[in-house]
Amino acid sequence: MPLALARKYRPKSFAAVAVQTHVSATLKGAIARGRVAHGYLFCGPRGTGKTTLARVLAMALNCERRAERMDGEPCGECASCRRVWSGSVSLDVVEIDAASNRGVDDARELRERAMYAPSGDTQYKVYIVDEAHMLTREAWNALLKVLEEPPPRVVFVFATTEPQKIAQSAAPVLSRLQRFDLKRIGLSDIRDRLRDVLAQEGVPADDDALAMIARAADGSMRDALSLADQVLALGDVAAVTADRVRDALGLVPEDTYLEFLALLAERRARDVFPAVERLADAGIDFGTFLAGLTDLIRSQLAVVLGGDGHDLSERARAVVVSYKDTWAAGDLLRMLNAITELEPRFRKSSQQQLLLETLLVRCALLDRAVSLEEVLRELDAPGGAAGAPPLAGTPVPAGRETRTAARGAGSDAASSAVSGVAREAAGARPHPDVAVPVRVAREPAPPAAPAGGPATKLDAEGLAARWPAIIERVRRNRQSSILAAALQQSEPELGTDAASVTVRLAERNEILLRAIETGRSDLLNAVRSEWPAVVRVDVALPGGGAASGPPKRLTAEAVKAEQVASLRRRDPVLGAAIDALDLELLD
């Protein structure tokens, strides 16, 4: 059997590691300057390059030509580099799968082994602990002792998909590790890499075919290459085409997904049953189908929030954009929540068809309610500029308090889905033009970027000054209106150490907290574009509390509570009406 692509094309240098340039640049610099930390934590979804980076780090530290090469890159050619790269037995680089070495005994043994000096005077001993969140608390305690007094030239690299679990079981260890959050690998990056690899294999490939593999790989470069293996394994492949990919991977045709999206958008609940029946007849795996449909709904949400649907095919983008005004963001969010809730049960169920049908009928019949987007726009909008793109609030000079006419719930009837009763109550108030203070963004207007590139020294003043630019960068890079909106409701502060920034929310709000938590690595990247030395971004609640632990799940109830609270804030008259009449906003 030919060598698997993922293995054959495994990067041999930091420069070759896809996407994670923010991490590799920092690591390379640390090696070049001889300032390597004793412990690293690489966090990120599967297949994003955690172990690969750890191996390149180990190669660089033990490269025989390290002294000649000043740039911190491994040569990739010397005996040591080749040994580490191929994963063959090495005295100095030890890979441990925590999933199978969970116990305290293993950690003790590890500790004892770590006490032995590396094999040569210039060598480093590198322990790569994969799936580190699987280690027990006792194992962490044993490791903590090593990290408290690290032997010279011993480096631990912990890789995990679930850093919050480590935060729960081993907080003191976490504070001794330099943490890097690896980015999920985007479709276009995966596509480019696939094209490159297949070209080196001498196999031409269609763009559509590459996009299909990339989508199926779901952000994992390793999966993408394995799927490419699978397509090539069909044998006698002259070219990688869309049809061939579909055959090899058992993919669902795009049109099928678009048909279901239309069905949901047009609320044709009764058509659910024959449509699912056709899926069954075509032998389509329901789990695969549900995952694909979830992706499409997610893309629809992104487009509704102002994204451009760049990760979709041209055809799908046209359809999704045409439904832009059909959906409220809140509805799509609730659908996604419903799917996520169902998923664990779905995988194990012997009644998948029934579960799928019920889910889709529920989604098709979903009451369209007050949209999350609208709530955030209210929180976000200084002066509530009508016609502005959703959530794209513009910063207002510091200290200015804007008074503006209240936007009655009735004035925006088309997009507001406040129940008719509540709308009427609000509209019936005597003075529709009552002025109420509206929260304004506190950031000063962004100063011009300093000449000669980004600022180098991180201080509170510079942080405050560059914050609007960072928010703008987040908004641009990710089309993430929610994250950007959440950041506008926050103040940046210097972290407890010189290399971190704390984002403090102006108010305790689950939606904003979650938006920042989930977008943390994007935020970190934006901050790094100004101050490359920053390695961590924390989120804090108002009044000094740290937002430790994973945020609560964003439930429909929580969203609704926030919505009601927000409506009250923005419109005291409506608030009073709700109190007086005991109205509930319809769900």
Where do contacts with Zn ion occur on this chain (CB under 5 A)? 63, 74-75, 78, 81
Min CB(76)–Zn ion separation in Å = 6
Hey, what are 195's tokens? Answer: 């094209």
For 339-372, b/e burial (b = at least 16 CB within 10 A) is beebeeebeeeeebeebbbebbbebbebeebbbb
Min CB(64)–Zn ion separation in Å = 5
User: What number of H helices and E strands is found in the chain?
Assistant: 26, 10
Q: Which is nearer to Zn ion, 70 or 414 (CB)?
A: 70
DSSP state of 15: G
> Nearest Cα to 537, choosing from 573, 486, 587, 481?
486
Q: Which is nearer to Zn ion, 81 or 379 (CB)?
A: 81
Q: Which is nearer to Zn ion, 31 or 81 (CB)?
A: 81
Q: Which is nearer to Zn ion, 74 or 219 (CB)?
A: 74
Q: Which is nearer to Zn ion, 69 or 569 (CB)?
A: 69
Q: How many C-alpha atoms does 43 have within 13 Å on its Cβ side?
A: 19
Q: Which is nearer to Zn ion, 63 or 320 (CB)?
A: 63
Q: Which is nearer to Zn ion, 93 or 376 (CB)?
A: 93
Q: Other C-beta atoms within 10 Å of 282: how many? A: 11
Q: What is the CA radius of gyration of the chain?
A: 26
Q: Which is nearer to Zn ion, 63 or 487 (CB)?
A: 63
What does the alpha-carbon distance between residue 31 and residue 40 come to, in Å, rounded to a whole number? Answer: 13
Q: Which is nearer to Zn ion, 68 or 497 (CB)?
A: 68
What does the alpha-carbon distance between residue 26 and residue 10 come to, in Å, rounded to a whole number? Answer: 20
Min CB(128)–Zn ion separation in Å = 18
What does the alpha-carbon distance between residue 268 and residue 469 come to, in Å, rounded to a whole number? Answer: 44
Min CB(79)–Zn ion separation in Å = 8
Residue 122 phi/psi, 5° resolution? -105, -5
Min CB(5)–Zn ion separation in Å = 23
Min CB(47)–Zn ion separation in Å = 26
DSSP state of 128: E
Min CB(84)–Zn ion separation in Å = 9
Min CB(12)–Zn ion separation in Å = 9
Min CB(340)–Zn ion separation in Å = 45
Q: Which is nearer to Zn ion, 63 or 540 (CB)?
A: 63
As beta bridge partners, residue 27 has none
Min CB(60)–Zn ion separation in Å = 8
| Strand spans (E) along 174-318 | 178-181
Q: Which is nearer to Zn ion, 78 or 506 (CB)?
A: 78
DSSP string, 302-367: HHHTT---TTS-HHHHHHHHHTTTT--HHHHHHHHHHHHHHHHHHHH-S-HHHHHHHHHHHHHHPP
Q: Which is nearer to Zn ion, 63 or 485 (CB)?
A: 63
Min CB(63)–Zn ion separation in Å = 3
Long-range Cβ contact pairs of 307-313 (< 8 A, separation 24 or more): 307/479, 308/479, 310/188, 311/186, 311/187, 311/188, 311/215, 313/208, 313/211, 313/254
- Looking up tokens 């679930």 gives 162
Min CB(55)–Zn ion separation in Å = 13
Q: Which is nearer to Zn ion, 63 or 212 (CB)?
A: 63
Min CB(31)–Zn ion separation in Å = 12
Q: Which is nearer to Zn ion, 25 or 78 (CB)?
A: 78
Residue 189 CB contacts under 8 Å (≥ 6 apart), including other chains = 18, 19
DSSP state of 240: B
Burial class of residue 429, CB neighbours in 10 A (0-12, 13-18, 19+): middle
> Nearest Cα to 290, choosing from 303, 279, 278?
279
Hey, what are 63's tokens? Answer: 């490269």
Min CB(77)–Zn ion separation in Å = 6
What does the alpha-carbon distance between residue 312 and residue 385 come to, in Å, rounded to a whole number? Answer: 30
Min CB(11)–Zn ion separation in Å = 14
- Looking up tokens 């005295």 gives 91
What does the alpha-carbon distance between residue 241 and residue 257 come to, in Å, rounded to a whole number? Answer: 20
What does the alpha-carbon distance between residue 61 and residue 156 come to, in Å, rounded to a whole number? Answer: 12
* Amino acid at position 581, single letter: L
Hey, what are 133's tokens? Answer: 């969140």
What Å distances lie between residue 529 and 22, 330, 332, CA to CA?
9, 32, 32
* Amino acid at position 72, single letter: G
Q: Which is nearer to Zn ion, 81 or 516 (CB)?
A: 81
As beta bridge partners, residue 485 has none
* Torsion angle, alpha carbons of 297, 300, 306, 307, to 10: 90
